Amino acid sequence: MKNVFIQPEWVPSVPVGMRVLITGATGGLGQALVRMLLKGSTCIIGAHGSSQVLEIEDDRIIPLSQTFRDENSCCALVDNYVEQSGGIDALVILSGSIRYSGHWMDMPSDDWENEISVSLNQPFYLARKAMKYMISQKTGGRIIFTGTESALHGGSSSSFPYAISKRGTECMVQGLAREGAKDGILVNGMRLGCIASGFHERWHNKTKEDMQKRTELIPLKRTGDPDEVAAFIIYLLSGYGGFITGQMLPITGGDWL
């Protein structure tokens, strides 16, 4: 039987009152996560966006707009959310981009620095600030990063700095998990394959035909659905994810097998 995504009848949930800050909540994955949290949980969601608008309204959402430029701007977002919610129990970092899509051999140094900043530096500043709050609260916490399966294989000629950054993310997950364990702070990441979130079309100008060719390389012969990723994130935030830390967990449809 052909492998297709069928929406399950059950919806995963997080603990009641959990304060969850989601960066990049206006993207395809972010909106799927916000919707699923609202459907299954009673929590306080900090929904961050910079270049898009979150088309979801709910009293449980604190809308946050912030353009990340440096450490101060990243810390300002976390401070803003904590001020409005009273604390932070979880940080999910979905913000990111690939702004240069040419061959890395032709890449200007400014573009290189920007790609590393967006995909590695900014997530670090966000996570470090959130972890400081979590440690001071003495109630534990969860931090979730996004990575890419291609980081294990050198990336591609047009996403080389992105892949390098995400390989660094894997190291960051392990180091932060080791540091946070004594305070009950769990740190994990997802090593994503080709997900139908609009990321490739938006940042790489991929056409429908391009995506179909990419899909044929996946053993399951389909792209991942954003809801599949959202459900996995919520599992990691839930009580059932309480014995998982320092891991990069693949959601790839068998890519690179």
Instruction: Quick: pLDDT tens for 182-202.
Output: 999 999 999 999 898 776 666
- For residue 7, is it within any domain? no
Please report whether residue 133 resides in a domain: yes
Q: Is residue 213 in some structural domain?
A: yes
The answer to the question of residue 253 being in a domain is no
When divided into structural domains, the chain yields a total of 1
Any domain includes 1? no
pLDDT above 90 covers a percentage of the chain that reads 73
137, part of any domain: yes
Asked whether the beta carbons of 36 and 22 are under 8 A apart, the reply is no
Is the pTM higher than 0.85? The answer reads yes
| Structural domain containing residue 132 | 19-248
Q: How do residues 10-51 score in pLDDT, each as one tens digit?
A: 899 999 999 999 999 999 999 999 999 999 999 999 999 876
117 DSSP assignment: I
Greatest alpha-carbon span in the chain: 51
Q: Are 129 and 78 in contact (CB under 8 A)?
A: yes
pLDDT of residue 99: 82
Taking the chain (257 residues) in consecutive chunks of 10 residues, what is each chunk's mean pLDDT? Answer: 81 96 94 95 92 83 94 97 98 89 92 94 98 97 95 88 94 98 98 83 69 86 93 97 97 90
Distances (CA, A) of 56 to 32, 47, 75, 180, 187: 10, 10, 25, 33, 28
In the numeric block, which tokens belong to residue 47?
């929904």
- Residue 209 domain flag: yes
Q: What is the CATH number for 95? A: 3.40.50.720
Q: Is residue 117 part of a domain?
A: yes
What sign has the CA pseudo-torsion 29, 3, 221, 252? positive
